[in-house]
Amino acid sequence: MTLTRDIMTPAPRCIGENDSLSIAASVMKDLDVGALPICGEDRKLKGMLTDRDIVVKAVSAGLDPETTPARDLAGGKPVTVDVSDDVNVALERMQKHQIRRLPVLEDRKLVGIISQADVARALSSEATGTTVESISQE
């Protein structure tokens, strides 16, 4: 049985809940990623922030990226998996919620993230194709 810990990218870079959106955008640029977990000082996941969130929810709404904290865009409860869950649980959640990046928790703290690329590297082409197709449906 393959577990989420077996395919996840460990120790993902978080953006602090009090960090500004401009800091988040800079980190995304430096890491060449389109999304970051938002974490509290306790390393607990508060939400996910995407480059699209910054543009559509903040900049286009007139919010100042220099002063708006990431926590302001951490709406709702993020979809997650536990580090010891079977990888099929992760695939089902990614497909059901049409998400490309899935935070992995251990004792309610962020320890990893599963992306489409992780799925492609670790699993069969059939599992990868099904997941990508489900995520990409409109």
Residue 63: both structure tokens together: 């919010």
Split into its structural domains, the chain has a count of: 1
How many residues does the structure list for the chain? 138
Range of the domain at 35: 4-136
Q: What order of strands is seen across the sheet that includes strand 101-106? A: 9-10, 109-115, 101-106, 81-82
Question: In the Cβ-directed half-sphere of 9, how many Cα atoms lie within 13 Å?
Answer: 17
pLDDT at 138: 61
Tell me the per-residue pLDDT of 41-75, one tens digit each, with 9 for 90 and over.
Answer: 888 899 999 999 999 999 999 999 999 999 998 87
Which residues are paired to 15 by β-bridges? 38
Regions of the chain with pLDDT less than 50: none
Quote the percentage of the chain above a pLDDT of 70.
99
CATH of the domain at 113: 3.10.580.10
Task: Render 24-42 in DSSP notation, one character per residue.
Answer: HHHHHHHHT-SEEEEE-TT
pLDDT of residue 127: 76
Q: What is the pTM of this model?
A: 0.85
